[in-house]
Structure 1
Amino acid sequence: MIRISILFLVFIFKTEAQTSVLNAADSLFVLGNYSNAIRVYKSHSNQPEVYDKLAKSYTAIGNYDEALKYYELGVETNPTNMLLKYDYAKLLSATKKFKEAKSIFSSLIKTDSLNPNFHYELGLVLEKLNDSTAINAFKTTYSLDETHQKAIYEIAKTHLQKREYALVDKYVDKGLESYQNNAKLISLKAQNYFWSQNYREAIAWFEKLIDLGEKSAFVYEKISLSYAKHFNYEKAIEYRLKALKFNPHDATARYVIGTYYLNTNDFENAEKFIKDALFLLDQPLDKEYMKLATVFNRQKKYKEAVETLKIAIKEAPDNYLAHFQMAVTLDSYYKDYDARIKVFENLLEKFPDKGMNAFIEDRISKLKQEKFIKEGEKKD
């Protein structure tokens, strides 16, 4: 009898000791001391009881191989534990093991087809696998939960990619009913208006996005372009300069800003930004040099314009418009009538079949008439 009592006391002691170990490990985990929690969990006598805790601890410190190993052991030991399977599948997805994740999410759906998040997570995996049925999984999620913000975003994003603007509005508006400050949905709304060329509405929604703290190069660039479409170049410049801070060596952005300054007659800044762009670009630059020449012409800096157009023509010798711009510039630059007439005659000879030839012939005729009048005045 005494022996039985002693054995019972030993059992109670061991059980309490193991409970104490588990409590200590759990406390370490809760406090974020994951590595020490792992050490204590591994000292627990009933390892299958702590497989899931070890998996979560290893996940927390970023050791995903060990985490997956313990999730797999946990699922094998307790195959009916849906939460364990769900966490396992999510880690498989996060570590790009999409086929394995798809298999587990599919099995979870078979067990509980009314759980919207199972369908959502499966949709994300299918998306990574380039499976076109991903949208069906997201729509199933939506049908089960019309407030599921993440599913709504994925559905609306897919419709935006297909330029199905009305459907984007439908889903985004539904999502904003339950969460009006969802920045991702507001971004889709703004982009939807931008790509459907409703720039006024796009501006309003991009402004909302900025008010929510979404200050990215993409947002600033798109709102700048929207303002430019409404000829509000001051605002277009303001936001494009903010976008430029994210990538100061963006030659395209600098060139665009230069053209905006040109439209506001701020020739000094137009010249500066277009020159900067030309310095950064590493491609045929005829169009960019032509724009810079326009800036010089608007300032009546004809010599600089001529030199710039020479570079443009060197970049693209067959660019008719560059040759035409050169002729028009030389017409303003040269004083001698014969030289001005010769410029246009050479252009006609070089490009005999272009659409501007009627204008050129008319200009030659007027120059000859002006020359005749001037010569007559000298004789008198």
Structure 2
Amino acid sequence: MIRYLIIFLLILFKTEAQTSVLNIADSLYVNGNYSKAIEQYKLYNNKYEVFDKIARAYMAIGNYKEALEHYELSVKANPDNTLIKFEYARLLSRTKKYEVASQVFADLINKDDNNPNYHYELGLVLEKLKDSTAMKRFQKTFELDETHQKAIYKIAKYYLQKRKHDMVDMYIDKGFETYENNIELISLKAQNYYWKQDYKGAIKWFEKLIELGETSEFIYEKLSLSYYQHYNIEKALENRLKALKYNPNDATARYVIGTYYSELDNFELAEKYISQALLALDQPLDREYMKLATVLNRQKKYKASIAALKKAIKEEPSNEFAHFHLAITLEAYYEDYDAKIKAYEDFKKKFSNGRMSKFADEKISQIKKEKFLKTD
């Protein structure tokens, strides 16, 4: 009898000791001491019961290799535990093991076809695998849960790419019913208005993003372009300058800013930004140099304008308008009537049948009359 009592006490002592080990490990995990928790879990005799806990602790410290290995052990030990299998599949996806992840998610769906998150996570994996059926999974997620914000975003984004604007609005508005300040959906809403050229609507939603604290080069650039299309040059300039702060070396942005300043008759700043852009741009720049020349002419900087137009012609020798623009600038620059006439005659030699040829004839005739009246 005493022998059996001793055995019972030993078993009880071991059980209590193991319970204590598990309680300590759980406490360490809850308090964020993951490495110490792993050490304690590994002291537990029935490790098949704690493989998933060890896996979660390894995940918490970023050791995905060990986490995957322990999830695999846990899945084998608990084949009917869908929660463990779901966490395992998500980690497979996170570590870019997409093929295996897709198989595990498919198994989960076979067990429970009505779980929206199984379909959504499989959709993410199929998306990475460039499988066109990914969208069907997102749509299935939405069918099962019409409040699923992430699925709504994926579907709305798909229709935005297809430029099916009404479908985009339908899904986004559905999403707004349960979460009106969803940043991702508001961004899609703004883009949808932009691409259907409803710039007033685009302005409203891009401004909403900024109001919610969401700012980026993309947001400010598209807001700027929307204001420009809505004929508000001041706001277009204000937002393009904010966009430039994200990418100060963006030559295209500097050129656009220069054109905005030009339209606002601030020719000094227009010259500054366009000149900076031209130094950085690596492409045919005849139009850009012509714009710079226009800005310089408005400031009566004819010599600098002539230099800019010659660069434009060098960039594109067949640009008739650049040649004609040069002739006009030379007329303003020269005081001698014969020099003015020669500028247009030189143009005529190059473009005798050009679209601006008649205008050149009229200019020559006008200058000759002015010369005659002056000498008379």
Deviations 1:190-232 (A, max 9, x none): 0000111111110011111101110111111110111111221
Deviations 1:269-295 (A, max 9, x none): 111111221222233332222211111
Amino acid at match of 1:68: L
Shift of 1:326: 1.2
Amino acid at match of 2:212: L
The TM-score with structure 1 as length reference comes to: 0.96
Shift of 1:127: 1.0
Counterpart of 1:282?
282
Shift of 1:316: 2.7
Equivalent residues in 2 for 1:182-221, closer than 5 Å: 182-221=182-221
Mapped partners of 1:74, 1:321: distance in 2: 75
Counterpart of 1:165?
165
Change (3 A) 1:40 1:291: same
Structure 2's unaligned 5+ residue stretches are: none
RMSD value, Cα? 1.4
Shift of 1:81: 0.8
Counterpart of 2:268?
268
Moved over 3 A (4+): none
Structure 1's unaligned 5+ residue stretches are: none
Amino acid at match of 1:150: K
Shift of 1:17: 1.0
Mapped partners of 1:213, 1:198: distance in 2: 23
Change (3 A) 1:146 1:373: same
Mapped partners of 1:53, 1:220: distance in 2: 46
1:33 aligns with 2:33: yes
Shift of 1:331: 2.0
Counterpart of 2:10?
10
Amino acid at match of 1:73: L
Counterpart of 1:121?
121
Counterpart of 1:156?
156
SS of equivalent residue, structure 2 residue 177: helix
Mapped partners of 1:99, 1:321: distance in 2: 59
Mapped partners of 1:28, 1:358: distance in 2: 89
Shift of 1:118: 0.8
Deviations 1:42-79 (A, max 9, x none): 11111111111111111111111111111111111111
Single out whichever of 360-369 and 287-296 deviates more from structure 2.
Answer: 360-369
SS of equivalent residue, structure 1 residue 335: coil
SS of equivalent residue, structure 1 residue 44: coil
Mapped partners of 1:214, 1:93: distance in 2: 28
Mapped partners of 1:233, 1:213: distance in 2: 24
Mapped partners of 1:147, 1:344: distance in 2: 70
Equivalent residues in 2 for 1:342-361, closer than 5 Å: 342-361=342-361
Shift of 1:162: 1.0
1:293 aligns with 2:316: no
Single out whichever of 268-277 and 319-328 deviates more from structure 2.
Answer: 319-328
Single out whichever of 350-359 and 270-279 deviates more from structure 2.
Answer: 350-359
Change (3 A) 1:329 1:34: same
Mapped partners of 1:137, 1:352: distance in 2: 65
Counterpart of 1:339?
339
1:254 aligns with 2:254: yes
Mapped partners of 1:114, 1:148: distance in 2: 14
Shift of 1:364: 2.4
Mapped partners of 1:8, 1:321: distance in 2: 104
Counterpart of 2:322?
322
Mapped partners of 2:8, 2:105: distance in 1: 45
SS of equivalent residue, structure 1 residue 28: helix
Counterpart of 2:176?
176
Amino acid at match of 1:157: K
SS of equivalent residue, structure 2 residue 231: coil
Counterpart of 2:366?
366
Mapped partners of 2:34, 2:358: distance in 1: 82
Counterpart of 1:242?
242
Single out whichever of 312-321 and 231-240 deviates more from structure 2.
Answer: 312-321
Mapped partners of 2:323, 2:64: distance in 1: 63
Amino acid at match of 2:298: R
Shift of 1:36: 1.1
Deviations 1:278-323 (A, max 9, x none): 2222333322222111110111211111111122222333333322
Deviations 1:145-166 (A, max 9, x none): 1111100000000011111111
Amino acid at match of 2:156: A
Change (3 A) 1:354 1:84: farther
Shift of 1:122: 1.0
Mapped partners of 2:205, 2:289: distance in 1: 35
Mapped partners of 1:320, 1:107: distance in 2: 68
Amino acid at match of 1:41: Y
Single out whichever of 196-205 and 228-237 deviates more from structure 2.
Answer: 228-237
Single out whichever of 336-345 and 235-244 deviates more from structure 2.
Answer: 336-345
Amino acid at match of 1:300: K
Shift of 1:104: 0.9
SS of equivalent residue, structure 2 residue 197: coil
Mapped partners of 2:372, 2:310: distance in 1: 31
SS of equivalent residue, structure 1 residue 178: coil
Amino acid at match of 1:273: Y
Change (3 A) 1:352 1:124: farther
Shift of 1:2: 1.3
1:309 aligns with 2:309: yes
Mapped partners of 2:276, 2:371: distance in 1: 41
Single out whichever of 321-330 and 172-181 deviates more from structure 2.
Answer: 321-330
SS of equivalent residue, structure 2 residue 114: coil
